[in-house]
Structure 1
Amino acid sequence: MPLGDSITDYGCWRAWIWERFQKEGYNVDLVGGERAGENCNSLNFDRDHEGHPGFMAVDIVAKNQLVDWLKKNPADIVTMHLGTNDIFRGNRKTAEITAALGKLVDQMRDHNPGMRIIVAQIIPLPAVDKQVQELNQAIPAWTASKNSTASPIWVVDQWTGFTSADLKDGIHPSESGDVKMANKFYPALIHAMETIGGNGTRG
């Protein structure tokens, strides 16, 4: 389940990940109640996701939305790129955001005690990038505090190496940004699958 805001909803990084799954022989079902997606170079890909434009992690928790999303679309692995709107729209502090992410992790594990969780250090947001960097710097220690053997969490650094050329509007990834996001999420997803099924779900 790709979970996030408009960066997940609009993001063609999901399409590039799907293409690699197909080329490398992995049988993967992306899940979620949303099916939006850009043209993505006319790629034919599994569009299911839970990317919601404008959504903040703190509101997803307050409204208990993830519980219903997971009930309708069960998942074994979640990629989570959240926090952009909490900073940009909500002016939320880092501690508030990590607390909300922690609640989301708890809800994932309530749904599936063996959930594999991939958390992004989010892509740059030039207008408020100091706050973005503060959140990203806090994520590894927060992740370590939430990690467990039964339900491991991995951090994927989506900020490092992401340039202004990788943003099409100062917020969302351009095509080059989508490729960079896919290239960072993909090996973490393969590793997560392998921890579930030995050799993953290649077939």
Structure 2
Amino acid sequence: MLNWKRLVSAALGAVTILVLTVGVTATSAGAESNGGVRVMPLGDSITEGTQVPGGYRIGLWQRLAAGRYTVDFVGSQFNGPGSLGDHDHQGHPGWRIDQIDANITGWARTHNPRTVLLHIGTNDILQNYNVAGAPQRLSTLIDRITATVPEADVFVATIIPLSNAGQAAAARTFNAAVPGIVQAKVNSGRRVHLVDMHSKLTTSDLIDGIHPTAGGYDKMAAAWYAALQAVPGSIGQPGATPSPTPSSPAGPIRGVASGRCLDVANVSQANGAATQLWDCNGRSNQQWASTAAGELRVYGGKCLDVNAAGTADGTAVLIWDCNGQNNQKWRLNADGTVTALGSNKCLDVSAYGTANGSKIQIWTCHGGTNQKWARA
């Protein structure tokens, strides 16, 4: 059964006190989540901020704050100065496209980003690593991201200039292929966007011929910010109320009778999307986090919701924008049942179903196995 007390205890035990100083780094860190739209800065040392710890993330964070956007940077890495309000990122100095590709599925499942900022390819050129194949490797990486988090907006940047003449020419050749790659993804229905980062900087903006100066990183920040503002939803709405911080890590919830997971049908993020049982697969539509407000959140900003605040047996359970109303509040009970506070009824699998696609509803609590849930 769902051991909620154990989950809460584990979450509290994972809290780490962090001293925020320029150049602080760590292999992992507790997320500084404010419940906002999850944005993953993804790439190499230019994402990490080599030479200027925090890099473009400093100026981007400051622009987002000034614009009253509520955003949560996510990733397994952590660094930057105190002026950077959220230090989490997924930047890896020295890494090539293939190395990011080998790890992205796990990172995306763990952090479930709503938006990805991808600047990668510089080390393929610096290491002269099959440079002719770099565009295809980038295409494969984008496919991997969109397959893992299909509802995310993925912003793909051309790489910034390099000072070495030969490497600069290779960068221009690589960059020339990027618009076509992005357009192909768009044509196939994926949420991928091009950011022309190369034109925003010159070699005079580089501190060592590779990494930007503080001013160069700020030019990158401005380019990212403009691109994000142009895509509705990628950073939410200005002035949106921050979401409650999750009191447990996001993860699957399994029906005891079926062994299948609580799932949003068709990986939809639309208001009113149905919930169901489905084979547990680790995708973002099966990742649920409980909050101190009593919500069960998926995709960060959607809540498990009793349709139209209904209280009758058989009322459908779906997802909706989190709004703080009682039909989005749940009590997680020690016996594995989950009570809808608005109706005092239980989260229930319709007709004792155990098959893929079995619908989720509320029903008078009776202790049956179709009302018992556990963390997978």
Q: TM-score surpassing 0.5?
A: yes
Matched, 1:190 2:233: no
Amino acid at match of 1:136: N
Residue 153 (structure 2) aligns with: 116
Give me the whole-angstrom Cα distance separating, in 1, the residues matched to 2:42 and 2:233: 20
Q: CA deviation at 1:102?
A: 1.7
Amino acid at match of 1:43: S
Name whichever of 177-186 and 6-15 sits farther off: 6-15
Which contiguous aligned blocks of 4+ residues in structure 1 show a shift greater than 6 angstroms?
Answer: none
Q: CA deviation at 1:196?
A: 5.5
Aligned residues: 195
Q: Deviations over 1:160-185 (max 9, x none)?
A: 14122210111101011011101111
Matched, 1:19 2:62: yes
| Structure with greater proportional helix content | 1
Q: CA deviation at 1:195?
A: 4.2
Give me the whole-angstrom Cα distance separating, in 1, the residues matched to 2:66 and 2:141: 32
Residue 197 (structure 2) aligns with: 158
Tell whether the 8 Å contact from 2:46 to 2:55 is kept in structure 1 after alignment: no
Give me the whole-angstrom Cα distance separating, in 2, the residues matched to 1:188 and 1:168: 25
Tell whether the 8 Å contact from 1:190 to 1:200 is kept in structure 2 after alignment: no
Residue 88 (structure 1) aligns with: 126
Residue 73 (structure 1) aligns with: 111
Q: CA deviation at 1:149?
A: 7.2
Give me the whole-angstrom Cα distance separating, in 2, the residues matched to 1:125 and 1:107: 27
Name whichever of 129-138 and 156-165 sits farther off: 156-165
For the pair shown, the structure with the greater C-alpha radius of gyration is 2
Residue 301 (structure 2) aligns with: none
CA gap 1:168/1:145 in 2 versus in 1, 3 angstroms: same
Q: CA deviation at 1:46?
A: 0.7
CA gap 1:111/1:161 in 2 versus in 1, 3 angstroms: closer
Q: CA deviation at 1:139?
A: 0.6
The unaligned stretches of length 5 or more in structure 1 are none
Matched, 1:47 2:84: no
Matched, 1:97 2:134: yes
Residue 218 (structure 2) aligns with: 179
Tell whether the 8 Å contact from 1:114 to 1:150 is kept in structure 2 after alignment: no
> How does the TM-score come out when normalised to structure 1?
0.88
Q: Secondary structure of the equivalent of 1:169? A: coil
Tell whether the 8 Å contact from 2:44 to 2:120 is kept in structure 1 after alignment: yes
Q: Deviations over 1:61-87 (max 9, x none)?
A: 3xx201111122110110100000011
Give me the whole-angstrom Cα distance separating, in 1, the residues matched to 2:42 and 2:189: 21
What percentage of residue pairs aligned between the two structures are identical? 33
CA gap 1:182/1:44 in 2 versus in 1, 3 angstroms: closer
Residue 145 (structure 1) aligns with: 184
Residue 42 (structure 2) aligns with: 3
Give me the whole-angstrom Cα distance separating, in 2, the residues matched to 1:84 and 1:196: 25
Give me the whole-angstrom Cα distance separating, in 2, the residues matched to 1:156 and 1:104: 16
Name whichever of 85-94 and 112-121 sits farther off: 85-94
Q: Secondary structure of the equivalent of 2:130? A: coil
Give me the whole-angstrom Cα distance separating, in 2, the residues matched to 1:74 and 1:150: 20
The unaligned stretches of length 5 or more in structure 2 are 1-39, 241-376
Residue 209 (structure 2) aligns with: 170
